[in-house]
A and B are shown apart, each in its own frame.
Chain A
Amino acid sequence: MSWRWFHQWGSPRWFYERAGRWQLVCGWLALILLVVGSLWGLGFAPVDYQQGNSYRIIYLHVPVAFLAQAMYAAMAVCAVVLFVWKMKLADVAMQAIAVTGLAFTVLSLVSGAVWGKPTWGTYWVWDARLTSMLILGFLYLGLIGLRAAIQDPDQAGKACGILVLVGVVNLPIIKYSVEWWNTLHQPASLKLTEKPTMPASMWMPLLVNILGYYIAAAYLVLGSMRAIVIGRERRASWVKELVGRA
Protein backbone atom coordinates (compact mmCIF):
# COMPACT_ATOMS: atom_id res chain seq x y z
CA MET A 1 0.00 0.00 0.00
CA SER A 2 1.22 3.44 -0.82
CA TRP A 3 1.42 5.92 2.04
CA ARG A 4 1.66 8.92 -0.25
CA TRP A 5 -1.85 10.16 0.56
CA PHE A 6 -0.74 10.26 4.19
CA HIS A 7 2.81 11.56 3.89
CA GLN A 8 1.86 14.54 1.74
CA TRP A 9 0.26 16.01 4.85
CA GLY A 10 3.84 16.57 6.03
CA SER A 11 4.19 19.44 3.56
CA PRO A 12 2.91 22.72 5.04
CA ARG A 13 2.73 24.29 1.61
CA TRP A 14 0.64 21.49 0.16
CA PHE A 15 -1.74 21.81 3.11
CA TYR A 16 -1.95 25.59 3.00
CA GLU A 17 -3.01 25.62 -0.64
CA ARG A 18 -5.51 22.74 -0.41
CA ALA A 19 -7.01 23.92 2.89
CA GLY A 20 -7.95 27.25 1.38
CA ARG A 21 -10.20 25.52 -1.11
CA TRP A 22 -11.65 23.08 1.43
CA GLN A 23 -12.42 25.95 3.72
CA LEU A 24 -14.50 27.67 1.10
CA VAL A 25 -16.55 24.53 0.46
CA CYS A 26 -16.99 23.87 4.19
CA GLY A 27 -18.06 27.45 4.87
CA TRP A 28 -20.88 27.49 2.37
CA LEU A 29 -22.02 23.96 3.15
CA ALA A 30 -22.12 24.71 6.89
CA LEU A 31 -24.02 27.94 6.34
CA ILE A 32 -26.69 26.21 4.24
CA LEU A 33 -27.07 23.26 6.62
CA LEU A 34 -27.22 25.44 9.74
CA VAL A 35 -29.79 27.82 8.27
CA VAL A 36 -31.98 24.92 7.10
CA GLY A 37 -31.56 22.87 10.29
CA SER A 38 -32.09 25.76 12.69
CA LEU A 39 -35.15 27.19 10.93
CA TRP A 40 -36.61 23.69 10.65
CA GLY A 41 -35.90 22.80 14.26
CA LEU A 42 -36.86 26.12 15.83
CA GLY A 43 -39.80 26.95 13.59
CA PHE A 44 -41.35 23.81 12.20
CA ALA A 45 -40.55 20.80 14.41
CA PRO A 46 -43.45 19.91 16.74
CA VAL A 47 -43.44 20.98 20.40
CA ASP A 48 -42.64 18.44 23.10
CA TYR A 49 -45.54 17.02 25.18
CA GLN A 50 -43.71 17.74 28.42
CA GLN A 51 -41.25 20.59 27.97
CA GLY A 52 -43.18 22.58 25.38
CA ASN A 53 -41.00 24.89 23.35
CA SER A 54 -38.05 24.94 25.76
CA TYR A 55 -36.83 21.58 24.42
CA ARG A 56 -35.89 23.35 21.17
CA ILE A 57 -32.55 24.36 22.63
CA ILE A 58 -31.65 20.73 21.87
CA TYR A 59 -30.95 21.92 18.31
CA LEU A 60 -28.01 23.90 19.68
CA HIS A 61 -27.08 21.98 22.81
CA VAL A 62 -26.70 18.47 21.39
CA PRO A 63 -24.59 19.43 18.31
CA VAL A 64 -22.18 21.62 20.29
CA ALA A 65 -21.84 19.01 23.05
CA PHE A 66 -21.08 16.33 20.40
CA LEU A 67 -18.51 18.64 18.85
CA ALA A 68 -16.84 19.44 22.17
CA GLN A 69 -16.10 15.72 22.58
CA ALA A 70 -15.40 14.92 18.92
CA MET A 71 -12.82 17.71 18.74
CA TYR A 72 -11.02 16.29 21.74
CA ALA A 73 -10.97 12.87 20.07
CA ALA A 74 -9.61 14.49 16.90
CA MET A 75 -6.93 16.17 18.98
CA ALA A 76 -5.96 12.79 20.46
CA VAL A 77 -5.58 11.33 16.96
CA CYS A 78 -3.34 14.30 16.13
CA ALA A 79 -1.26 13.66 19.25
CA VAL A 80 -0.72 10.02 18.18
CA VAL A 81 0.26 11.16 14.68
CA LEU A 82 2.64 13.70 16.20
CA PHE A 83 4.38 11.15 18.42
CA VAL A 84 4.44 8.20 15.99
CA TRP A 85 5.05 9.94 12.66
CA LYS A 86 6.55 13.21 13.97
CA MET A 87 4.32 15.14 11.60
CA LYS A 88 4.38 18.83 12.41
CA LEU A 89 1.02 19.55 10.88
CA ALA A 90 -0.55 17.36 13.58
CA ASP A 91 0.76 19.79 16.18
CA VAL A 92 -0.68 22.70 14.20
CA ALA A 93 -4.03 20.90 14.21
CA MET A 94 -3.84 20.33 17.99
CA GLN A 95 -3.20 24.03 18.55
CA ALA A 96 -6.12 25.03 16.31
CA ILE A 97 -8.55 22.47 17.74
CA ALA A 98 -7.84 23.39 21.38
CA VAL A 99 -9.29 26.88 20.93
CA THR A 100 -12.27 25.79 18.83
CA GLY A 101 -12.96 22.88 21.17
CA LEU A 102 -12.99 25.18 24.18
CA ALA A 103 -15.51 27.41 22.42
CA PHE A 104 -17.83 24.45 21.78
CA THR A 105 -17.45 23.20 25.36
CA VAL A 106 -18.35 26.60 26.79
CA LEU A 107 -21.33 26.81 24.42
CA SER A 108 -22.59 23.40 25.49
CA LEU A 109 -22.24 24.23 29.20
CA VAL A 110 -24.01 27.57 28.78
CA SER A 111 -26.81 26.21 26.56
CA GLY A 112 -27.23 23.32 29.01
CA ALA A 113 -27.56 25.76 31.92
CA VAL A 114 -30.15 27.77 30.00
CA TRP A 115 -32.07 24.56 29.32
CA GLY A 116 -31.66 23.28 32.85
CA LYS A 117 -33.34 26.24 34.55
CA PRO A 118 -36.84 25.86 33.06
CA THR A 119 -36.86 22.04 32.98
CA TRP A 120 -34.89 20.83 36.01
CA GLY A 121 -35.28 23.98 38.08
CA THR A 122 -31.56 24.75 38.34
CA TYR A 123 -28.76 26.12 36.18
CA TRP A 124 -26.15 23.81 37.57
CA VAL A 125 -25.91 20.62 39.56
CA TRP A 126 -22.76 18.65 40.35
CA ASP A 127 -23.87 15.50 38.59
CA ALA A 128 -21.43 13.23 36.76
CA ARG A 129 -22.31 14.38 33.23
CA LEU A 130 -22.11 18.10 33.94
CA THR A 131 -18.96 17.78 36.03
CA SER A 132 -17.10 15.62 33.49
CA MET A 133 -18.02 18.15 30.80
CA LEU A 134 -16.63 20.95 32.98
CA ILE A 135 -13.41 18.95 33.34
CA LEU A 136 -13.25 18.72 29.55
CA GLY A 137 -13.45 22.50 29.45
CA PHE A 138 -10.56 22.76 31.95
CA LEU A 139 -8.52 20.33 29.84
CA TYR A 140 -8.93 22.58 26.80
CA LEU A 141 -8.08 25.61 28.91
CA GLY A 142 -5.02 23.82 30.31
CA LEU A 143 -3.83 22.95 26.81
CA ILE A 144 -4.05 26.54 25.67
CA GLY A 145 -2.22 27.69 28.78
CA LEU A 146 0.46 25.01 28.51
CA ARG A 147 1.23 25.94 24.93
CA ALA A 148 1.42 29.62 25.79
CA ALA A 149 3.78 28.88 28.69
CA ILE A 150 6.45 27.06 26.62
CA GLN A 151 8.50 29.14 24.20
CA ASP A 152 9.88 26.46 21.89
CA PRO A 153 7.06 25.25 19.58
CA ASP A 154 8.43 21.68 19.35
CA GLN A 155 8.63 21.33 23.12
CA ALA A 156 5.19 22.91 23.52
CA GLY A 157 3.76 20.44 21.00
CA LYS A 158 5.17 17.45 22.86
CA ALA A 159 3.93 18.67 26.23
CA CYS A 160 0.46 19.35 24.84
CA GLY A 161 0.41 15.96 23.11
CA ILE A 162 1.01 14.20 26.42
CA LEU A 163 -1.70 16.20 28.19
CA VAL A 164 -4.12 15.45 25.33
CA LEU A 165 -3.47 11.70 25.61
CA VAL A 166 -3.90 11.78 29.40
CA GLY A 167 -7.21 13.61 29.03
CA VAL A 168 -8.60 11.02 26.61
CA VAL A 169 -9.63 9.01 29.67
CA ASN A 170 -12.30 11.65 30.28
CA LEU A 171 -14.13 10.95 26.98
CA PRO A 172 -15.65 7.56 27.88
CA ILE A 173 -16.45 8.98 31.32
CA ILE A 174 -18.50 11.78 29.74
CA LYS A 175 -20.27 9.39 27.40
CA TYR A 176 -21.18 6.73 29.97
CA SER A 177 -21.62 9.02 32.99
CA VAL A 178 -25.39 8.95 32.57
CA GLU A 179 -25.41 5.15 32.56
CA TRP A 180 -22.81 4.31 35.20
CA TRP A 181 -24.12 6.68 37.88
CA ASN A 182 -27.36 8.30 39.01
CA THR A 183 -27.47 11.68 37.34
CA LEU A 184 -29.96 14.46 36.83
CA HIS A 185 -29.01 14.54 33.15
CA GLN A 186 -31.06 12.13 31.05
CA PRO A 187 -29.46 9.37 28.93
CA ALA A 188 -28.69 9.95 25.24
CA SER A 189 -31.56 10.38 22.80
CA LEU A 190 -29.49 9.72 19.70
CA LYS A 191 -27.35 6.60 19.53
CA LEU A 192 -25.64 4.96 16.58
CA THR A 193 -26.90 1.54 17.53
CA GLU A 194 -30.50 2.28 18.49
CA LYS A 195 -33.55 4.05 17.18
CA PRO A 196 -33.80 7.70 18.28
CA THR A 197 -36.16 8.31 21.20
CA MET A 198 -38.04 10.96 19.27
CA PRO A 199 -40.07 11.01 16.04
CA ALA A 200 -38.44 11.76 12.67
CA SER A 201 -40.02 15.24 12.59
CA MET A 202 -37.84 16.07 15.61
CA TRP A 203 -34.59 14.21 14.92
CA MET A 204 -34.26 15.06 11.22
CA PRO A 205 -33.61 18.77 11.80
CA LEU A 206 -31.32 17.77 14.68
CA LEU A 207 -29.30 15.57 12.33
CA VAL A 208 -29.03 18.40 9.79
CA ASN A 209 -27.76 20.72 12.53
CA ILE A 210 -25.28 18.16 13.86
CA LEU A 211 -23.85 17.77 10.36
CA GLY A 212 -23.85 21.55 9.92
CA TYR A 213 -21.95 22.15 13.17
CA TYR A 214 -19.41 19.44 12.29
CA ILE A 215 -18.68 21.11 8.97
CA ALA A 216 -18.65 24.56 10.60
CA ALA A 217 -16.07 23.22 13.06
CA ALA A 218 -13.96 21.96 10.15
CA TYR A 219 -14.22 25.42 8.61
CA LEU A 220 -13.03 27.11 11.80
CA VAL A 221 -10.21 24.63 12.41
CA LEU A 222 -8.93 24.81 8.80
CA GLY A 223 -8.93 28.59 8.98
CA SER A 224 -6.92 28.80 12.15
CA MET A 225 -4.59 25.99 11.00
CA ARG A 226 -3.75 28.00 7.89
CA ALA A 227 -2.98 31.04 10.00
CA ILE A 228 -0.74 28.98 12.33
CA VAL A 229 1.07 27.37 9.37
CA ILE A 230 1.86 30.76 7.88
CA GLY A 231 3.13 31.98 11.24
CA ARG A 232 5.36 28.97 11.87
CA GLU A 233 6.74 28.80 8.32
CA ARG A 234 7.35 32.53 8.09
CA ARG A 235 11.01 31.94 7.20
CA ALA A 236 10.22 29.51 4.36
CA SER A 237 10.66 30.85 0.83
CA TRP A 238 7.12 29.97 -0.27
CA VAL A 239 5.62 32.04 2.53
CA LYS A 240 7.85 35.02 1.72
CA GLU A 241 6.82 34.72 -1.89
CA LEU A 242 3.15 34.51 -0.91
CA VAL A 243 3.36 37.52 1.38
CA GLY A 244 5.36 39.47 -1.19
CA ARG A 245 2.70 38.87 -3.78
CA ALA A 246 -0.11 40.05 -1.56
Chain B
Amino acid sequence: MNPKRKQRMLIILGLVSGLGVAVGLVMYALSQNINLFFTPTQIATGQAPSAQLIRVGGMVADGTVDRDPQSLKVAFDVTDFDHQVRVTYEGILPDLFREGQGVVVQGRINQGQFVASEVLAKHDENYMPPEVTEALRQSGKLDQMKGGQQQ
Protein backbone atom coordinates (compact mmCIF):
# COMPACT_ATOMS: atom_id res chain seq x y z
CA MET B 1 0.00 0.00 0.00
CA ASN B 2 1.38 3.41 -0.84
CA PRO B 3 1.70 6.02 1.93
CA LYS B 4 -1.28 8.05 0.77
CA ARG B 5 -3.60 5.05 0.88
CA LYS B 6 -2.21 4.00 4.22
CA GLN B 7 -2.96 7.46 5.56
CA ARG B 8 -6.54 7.37 4.28
CA MET B 9 -6.97 3.91 5.81
CA LEU B 10 -5.76 5.23 9.18
CA ILE B 11 -8.13 8.21 9.01
CA ILE B 12 -11.07 5.86 8.39
CA LEU B 13 -10.04 3.52 11.19
CA GLY B 14 -9.61 6.46 13.56
CA LEU B 15 -13.00 7.94 12.71
CA VAL B 16 -14.86 4.65 13.03
CA SER B 17 -13.23 3.72 16.33
CA GLY B 18 -13.84 7.21 17.73
CA LEU B 19 -17.47 6.95 16.75
CA GLY B 20 -17.62 3.47 18.28
CA VAL B 21 -16.32 4.76 21.62
CA ALA B 22 -18.81 7.66 21.59
CA VAL B 23 -21.79 5.40 20.86
CA GLY B 24 -20.50 2.86 23.40
CA LEU B 25 -20.48 5.49 26.14
CA VAL B 26 -23.99 6.64 25.25
CA MET B 27 -25.22 3.04 25.32
CA TYR B 28 -23.55 2.50 28.68
CA ALA B 29 -25.20 5.60 30.08
CA LEU B 30 -28.60 4.54 28.75
CA SER B 31 -28.33 0.86 29.65
CA GLN B 32 -31.06 1.21 32.29
CA ASN B 33 -33.48 2.34 29.61
CA ILE B 34 -32.41 -0.22 27.03
CA ASN B 35 -33.04 -3.19 29.32
CA LEU B 36 -36.43 -4.57 28.43
CA PHE B 37 -37.31 -5.66 31.97
CA PHE B 38 -36.37 -5.55 35.63
CA THR B 39 -35.46 -8.72 37.51
CA PRO B 40 -37.37 -9.71 40.69
CA THR B 41 -34.20 -8.93 42.67
CA GLN B 42 -34.18 -5.36 41.35
CA ILE B 43 -37.81 -5.01 42.44
CA ALA B 44 -37.13 -6.46 45.87
CA THR B 45 -34.22 -4.06 46.42
CA GLY B 46 -36.34 -1.11 45.27
CA GLN B 47 -34.44 -0.32 42.09
CA ALA B 48 -37.62 -0.38 40.01
CA PRO B 49 -39.93 2.63 40.01
CA SER B 50 -43.28 1.96 41.67
CA ALA B 51 -46.66 3.16 40.32
CA GLN B 52 -45.17 3.31 36.85
CA LEU B 53 -45.60 0.95 33.91
CA ILE B 54 -42.62 -1.45 33.97
CA ARG B 55 -41.72 -4.94 32.85
CA VAL B 56 -40.50 -7.79 35.03
CA GLY B 57 -38.73 -10.84 33.61
CA GLY B 58 -37.94 -14.22 35.14
CA MET B 59 -39.13 -17.78 35.42
CA VAL B 60 -42.62 -18.85 36.42
CA ALA B 61 -41.92 -20.56 39.76
CA ASP B 62 -42.98 -24.22 39.99
CA GLY B 63 -46.28 -24.86 41.74
CA THR B 64 -47.29 -21.22 42.11
CA VAL B 65 -49.77 -20.86 39.23
CA ASP B 66 -53.32 -20.31 40.53
CA ARG B 67 -56.04 -20.14 37.91
CA ASP B 68 -59.51 -18.88 38.73
CA PRO B 69 -61.89 -21.52 37.28
CA GLN B 70 -64.68 -18.91 36.82
CA SER B 71 -62.69 -16.38 34.76
CA LEU B 72 -59.43 -15.72 32.94
CA LYS B 73 -57.79 -14.48 36.16
CA VAL B 74 -54.47 -16.08 36.95
CA ALA B 75 -51.77 -15.47 39.55
CA PHE B 76 -48.22 -16.76 39.63
CA ASP B 77 -44.77 -16.05 41.05
CA VAL B 78 -41.97 -14.80 38.81
CA THR B 79 -38.58 -15.73 40.20
CA ASP B 80 -34.92 -15.23 39.40
CA PHE B 81 -34.05 -17.84 42.06
CA ASP B 82 -33.10 -15.10 44.54
CA HIS B 83 -36.36 -13.18 44.90
CA GLN B 84 -39.94 -13.64 43.79
CA VAL B 85 -42.68 -11.30 42.64
CA ARG B 86 -46.36 -12.25 42.82
CA VAL B 87 -48.05 -11.41 39.52
CA THR B 88 -51.79 -11.20 38.86
CA TYR B 89 -53.16 -11.12 35.35
CA GLU B 90 -56.48 -11.35 33.58
CA GLY B 91 -56.43 -12.38 29.95
CA ILE B 92 -55.22 -14.98 27.51
CA LEU B 93 -51.76 -16.36 28.18
CA PRO B 94 -49.34 -17.21 25.33
CA ASP B 95 -49.10 -20.88 24.33
CA LEU B 96 -45.63 -21.28 25.77
CA PHE B 97 -46.72 -20.09 29.24
CA ARG B 98 -46.13 -22.83 31.83
CA GLU B 99 -44.33 -23.47 35.07
CA GLY B 100 -40.58 -23.20 34.69
CA GLN B 101 -40.94 -21.06 31.56
CA GLY B 102 -39.29 -17.67 31.16
CA VAL B 103 -41.80 -14.81 30.95
CA VAL B 104 -41.76 -11.04 30.61
CA VAL B 105 -44.78 -9.32 32.18
CA GLN B 106 -45.73 -5.68 31.81
CA GLY B 107 -47.71 -3.84 34.46
CA ARG B 108 -47.53 -1.87 37.72
CA ILE B 109 -46.61 -2.66 41.30
CA ASN B 110 -49.68 -2.32 43.48
CA GLN B 111 -49.51 -3.09 47.21
CA GLY B 112 -46.67 -5.56 46.91
CA GLN B 113 -48.29 -7.33 43.98
CA PHE B 114 -47.51 -6.88 40.35
CA VAL B 115 -50.66 -6.28 38.32
CA ALA B 116 -49.87 -7.29 34.77
CA SER B 117 -51.49 -5.94 31.63
CA GLU B 118 -49.48 -8.11 29.24
CA VAL B 119 -47.71 -11.47 29.62
CA LEU B 120 -45.11 -12.52 27.05
CA ALA B 121 -43.39 -15.91 26.99
CA LYS B 122 -39.63 -16.01 26.56
CA HIS B 123 -37.93 -19.07 25.16
CA ASP B 124 -34.27 -19.96 25.30
CA GLU B 125 -31.88 -20.73 22.45
CA ASN B 126 -32.15 -24.51 22.88
CA TYR B 127 -34.08 -26.54 20.36
CA MET B 128 -34.53 -30.30 20.56
CA PRO B 129 -36.87 -33.08 19.48
CA PRO B 130 -39.42 -34.22 22.12
CA GLU B 131 -37.79 -37.66 22.41
CA VAL B 132 -34.52 -36.06 23.49
CA THR B 133 -36.33 -33.93 26.07
CA GLU B 134 -38.00 -37.06 27.45
CA ALA B 135 -34.69 -38.91 27.65
CA LEU B 136 -33.07 -35.94 29.40
CA ARG B 137 -35.95 -35.67 31.85
CA GLN B 138 -35.70 -39.34 32.75
CA SER B 139 -31.99 -39.08 33.41
CA GLY B 140 -32.59 -35.86 35.39
CA LYS B 141 -30.33 -33.79 33.18
CA LEU B 142 -32.98 -31.43 31.79
CA ASP B 143 -33.15 -29.17 34.85
CA GLN B 144 -29.39 -29.17 35.05
CA MET B 145 -29.13 -28.02 31.46
CA LYS B 146 -31.79 -25.35 31.90
CA GLY B 147 -30.23 -24.21 35.15
CA GLY B 148 -26.95 -23.78 33.32
CA GLN B 149 -28.58 -21.28 30.98
CA GLN B 150 -29.69 -18.97 33.79
CA GLN B 151 -27.60 -15.91 34.39
> What residues of chain A have their CB less than 8 Å away from a CB belonging to chain B?
46-51, 55, 58, 80, 83-85, 118-122, 125-128, 165-166, 168-169, 172-173, 180-184, 186-189, 197-199, 201-202
Residues B15 and A165 in contact, CB atoms below 8 Å apart = yes
User: A197's contact among B35, B97, B104, B125, by CB below 8 Å, is which?
Assistant: B125
Given A49-B133, A83-B12, A85-B5, the answer on whether A187 and B36 have CB atoms closer than 8 Å is: no
Residue contact B36 to A182, C-beta cutoff 8 Å? yes
A48 and B127 in contact (CB under 8 A), knowing A128-B34, A173-B27, A182-B37?
yes
Give, as a whole number of angstroms, the nearest-CB distance from B15 to chain A: 7
Closest beta carbon of chain B to A185's beta carbon, Å = 9
Interface size class, chain B: 35 or more
Give 1 or 0 for each of B25-49: 1 = CB within 8 Å of chain A CB. 0010001001111010000000000
Contact B123 A84 (CB under 8 A): no
How far is B27's CA from A80's CA once the two chains are assembled, in angstroms? 26
Which B residues touch A187, using CB under 8 A? 124-125
Interfacial chain A residues near B121, Cβ < 8 Å:
119-121
Question: Which of chain B's residues have a CB closer than 8 A to the CB of A120?
Answer: 94, 96, 120-123
Task: Tell me the minimal C-beta distance from B40 to chain A in angstroms.
Answer: 12
B59 at the interface (CB under 8 A from A): no
How distant is the Cα of A15 from the Cα of B51 in the complex, in angstroms? 63
Interface bits B82-102 vs A (CB < 8 Å: 1, else 0): 000000000001111100000
A47 contacts B94, CB within 8 Å?
no
Contact status of A121 and B12, CB under 8 A, knowing A48-B127, A184-B36, A184-B122? no
Ordered by A's residue number, 25 sampled pairs between the chains whose C-beta atoms are within 8 Å are: A49-B129, A51-B96, A84-B5, A84-B9, A118-B94, A119-B121, A120-B94, A121-B94, A121-B118, A121-B120, A125-B104, A125-B120, A165-B16, A169-B16, A180-B27, A180-B31, A184-B36, A186-B125, A189-B127, A197-B124, A197-B127, A198-B127, A199-B129, A199-B132, A202-B129
By a beta-carbon cutoff of 8 Å, the part of chain B in contact with chain A is 5, 8-9, 12, 15-16, 19-20, 23, 27, 31, 34-37, 39, 57, 93-97, 104, 118-133
A88 to B: closest C-beta gap in Å: 16
Inter-chain contact A80/B127, CB cutoff 8 Å: no
Chain A interface mostly helix, strand, loop or mixed?
loop
How far in angstroms is the closest Cβ of chain B from A57?
A: 12
Q: A184-B122, A188-B125 are in contact. Are A118 and B95 (CB under 8 A)?
A: yes
Chain B residues near A47: list those with CB within 8 A.
129-130
B residues near A183, Cβ cutoff 8 Å: 36
Could you tell me if B123 and A50 are in contact, using CB atoms closer than 8 angstroms? yes
Complex Cα distance, B23 from A166, in Å, reads 10
- Give Cα distance in the complex from A61 to B131, angstroms: 25
Contact of A169 among B9, B23, B96 (CB under 8 A): B23
Cα(A172)–Cα(B121), bound, Å: 26
Considering the chains assembled together, what is the distance between the CA atoms of A184 and B95 in angstroms?
16
Asked whether, in the complex, the Cβ of B120 is within 8 Å of the Cβ of A122, the reply is yes
Which of the residues B95, B122, B128 comes within 8 Å of A186, measured between beta carbons? B122
B12 and A80 form a contact (CB under 8 A): yes
Contacting pair A83 B8 (CB below 8 A): yes
